[in-house]
Amino acid sequence: MEEIKLTTTIKVYHYDELSTEERRLTEAAKEATKRSYSPYSHFSVGAAVLLEDGTIVTGTNQENVAYPSGLCAERTALFYANSQYPDLAVKALAIAAGATSSEEVISPCGACRQVMVETENRFQCFLKVLLCGADKVYVAESAADLLPLSFHFPS
């Protein structure tokens, strides 16, 4: 038998410890939650993507009565950024839940994690992920830290 041990590091910050750019990104994610379409779960999520030129693109979760036809905020933001700015690398992604949804840090689903890793692979650079709570922000320096055994197409 063989054993593989996987480890990851997540840093925990208070908002005042973030850089100005990171605070701007987290605020954009929080603001985006107000545009969520979540009439069934009542769990609003906002995401904000930072592109290499400083542009911030946001997205929200979009529910549909015919579940699973909706889409998570993270994928909405990443897909929009990649389709509208295909030549600009994605440097960071902040994710926040609406104030009425959760005061805790929320974590992306597996599908969103896979899309984040694909984004890293596409642009050949790390994608910093900021998981925003009421008082703290969990920061992963790479999306791969959130999905260490991601899917890769066999070469």
Q: Which of 22, 63, 74, 118 is catalytic?
A: 74
Closest C-alpha to 127, from 137, 119, 135: 119
User: What is the Cα Rg of the chain in Å?
Assistant: 15
118 is catalytic: no
Residue 52 carries which DSSP code? Answer: T
Q: Nearest 5 degrees, angle CA 32-CA 36-CA 37? A: 165
Q: How far apart are CA 96 and CA 137, in angstroms?
A: 10
Pairing between β-strand 90-97 and β-strand 128-132 as defined by DSSP bridges: parallel
Which amino acid type is present at position 117? V
Instruction: Mention every residue, 6+ apart, whose C-beta is less than 8 A from residue 150.
Output: 113, 114, 117, 144
Q: How far apart are CA 53 and CA 58, in angstroms?
A: 15
Instruction: Write out the catalytic residue numbers.
Output: 74
